Chain A
């Protein structure tokens, strides 16, 4: 099977330059060939009843972190807000 590596990269929000394109295409081709050939199993996917998740009550907890603390790791902050490129024309 031929993989459209440019398309997959685009979906992944990764840009691949032309030098790397060949390498990634070959790698991906080999990996996809490897994972091919899984048997067809005529069963339904069953939910594992023993492993039901236990969710917390939907109650907001406040005061755990300060805004400042959470913004500390942001790449760019102005006036207490995250800075991003213009998204609406």
Chain B
């Protein structure tokens, strides 16, 4: 077994026992990148020199007997909408093709303080808008399990890199499913944390009231470890919560006896593939065998979630993306007649079609005469969806649903049909709308393509979610498989 195939927690023990060095692990990951990147296309920017440098530093610190964090020396790759000082951060857009941030996102400061090794920046849908990573200005990432299929999105590079062994763990961001859906398509584990638990400072904003950064990995332990590194209050993000977090990995327990699991009928209806339903329900039986209590529940407003989501997220996006005007940073059109013409040409040439659609939708729903009919109504639906989840969590501890309605679709299959593309997020958007934590874990394969289930919990109940996932992983074995890609 090569080092890149191992999980972060395995590598962490090996480093402590001096069975390998961080340089060896990092080189193993780069060898894997050299071998498969031309097929998978996970990365936009590769930072080999600085990574090897950092790995050497960590090895020296270990040799001197220094006490380091559990993830010290472990390679990590970062989605390209998370600011990295001195490393180009493009959001997969022509608009930011040459943008080099003068500061680090708080999560990047945190992974640096934990002495993790940043291997590079990952491909995504432009400004995180999309469900297939086909909206990247630079390239299309392929699903490692079948390179004719999409990896999902918008964190397609984050999921594909971990699934293919081009990264041990990664960071993604999730506004409507952008960590969980690609994790489902690529057969890895991904967490969308509770809103306000991870600082958004330095995450290029899409929809600020929904965006969260989260970890992607190949084991529940790894997710727990990385989440411990990135969560916590940050004075630079006024929405981040002041609270104490446990050591999630140390608190892992596979005992789920008496855990009440809700199965909402609305997530198993029309539009969800039979193969997905049956794999998820088979998995639910495993939870039941381990002592969980399964209850049928109903979340009746689910059908409105996707409508409310596209109104709220696009409204926020239209405002957030107003900053890209060709003045202070980023792309500027070459020929223009006056200031307004410069704005319009810069934005028309710098943004791709999907970003333009969302900005225009957001502008429309906020425009005079339409605000009450769209935005206000969507916010009321959001309130209702939150209430329904809250009421439900009086009766159950977690909710299990499919993560995506189907396995990964073919590249190009939904490109001309935005509505079909939006439907890929139907199971994940309600979780963002309600600000809750949600985790994807693989639960089966259909003709070689991974299928994932989603565990949703109460606000700040990540430990409960991790324990449920851990119990499942212990029972059925780790279902994250790295394909050979030969």
Residue of A8, A12, A54 most packed against chain B (CB within 10 A): A12
Q: Are A24 and B357 also in contact (CB < 8 A) when A15-B344, A41-B377 are?
A: yes
Other-chain contact of A51, B196, B235, B367 (Cβ < 8 Å): B196
A79 at the interface (CB under 8 A from B): no
Q: Flag if B329 contacts A8 (CB, 8 Å).
A: no
A49 at the interface (CB under 8 A from B): no
Closest to A9 in B: B360
**Digit string of A39-80 for contact with B (CB within 8 Å is 1, else 0)?**
111010110000101111000000011000110111110000
B138 at the interface (CB under 8 A from A): no
When distances are taken between beta carbons in the complex, the residues of chain B under 8 Å from A85 are 336-339, 341-342
CA distance A14 to B304 in the complex (A): 29
- Nearest Cβ in chain A — how far from B93, in angstroms? 14
Q: Flag if A27 contacts B418 (CB, 8 Å).
A: yes
Q: Flag if B357 contacts A31 (CB, 8 Å).
A: yes
Q: Are A24 and B307 also in contact (CB < 8 A) when A54-B242, A85-B338 are?
A: no
Closest to A41 in B: B380
Closest to A68 in B: B102
How many chain A residues touch B (CB < 8 A): the figure is 46
Q: Flag if B347 contacts A13 (CB, 8 Å).
A: yes
| Interface of chain B, main secondary structure | helix
Other-chain contact of A82, B304, B327, B344, B377 (Cβ < 8 Å): B327
Interface residues on B, range: 35 or more
- Nearest Cβ in chain B — how far from A88, in angstroms? 10
Closest to B340 in A: A13
Q: Flag if B383 contacts A45 (CB, 8 Å).
A: yes
| Interface of chain A, main secondary structure | loop
CA distance A76 to B337 in the complex (A): 16
Chain B, 326-358, CB within 8 A of any chain A CB: 326-332, 336-345, 347-348, 351, 353, 356-357
Q: Flag if A87 contacts B339 (CB, 8 Å).
A: yes
CA distance A54 to B241 in the complex (A): 8
B308 at the interface (CB under 8 A from A): yes
Other-chain contact of A53, B239, B326, B384, B419 (Cβ < 8 Å): B239
When distances are taken between beta carbons in the complex, the residues of chain B under 8 Å from A86 are 338-339
Other-chain contact of A14, B102, B241, B347, B380 (Cβ < 8 Å): B347
Closest to B311 in A: A35
Chain A, 6-35, CB within 8 A of any chain B CB: 8-9, 11-16, 24, 27-28, 30-32, 34-35
When distances are taken between beta carbons in the complex, the residues of chain A under 8 Å from B380 are 41, 43, 45
Closest to A34 in B: B419
When distances are taken between beta carbons in the complex, the residues of chain A under 8 Å from B100 are 72-73
- Nearest Cβ in chain B — how far from A51, in angstroms? 7
When distances are taken between beta carbons in the complex, the residues of chain B under 8 Å from A64 are 103
CA distance A40 to B379 in the complex (A): 11
**What residues of chain B have their CB less than 8 Å away from a CB belonging to chain A?**
98-100, 102-103, 196, 235, 238-239, 241-242, 304, 306-308, 310-311, 318, 322, 325-332, 336-345, 347-348, 351, 353, 356-357, 359-361, 363-365, 367, 374, 376-381, 383-384, 418-419, 422, 435
A-B contact pairs, 10 of them (CB 8 A): A13-B343, A28-B357, A28-B360, A31-B361, A34-B307, A34-B310, A38-B308, A39-B381, A51-B241, A75-B329
Instruction: Enumerate the 10 nearest inter-chain pairs by beta-carbon distance, A residue then B residue, closest first.
Output: A75-B332, A73-B329, A53-B238, A41-B380, A15-B344, A12-B363, A38-B377, A13-B343, A35-B307, A69-B102
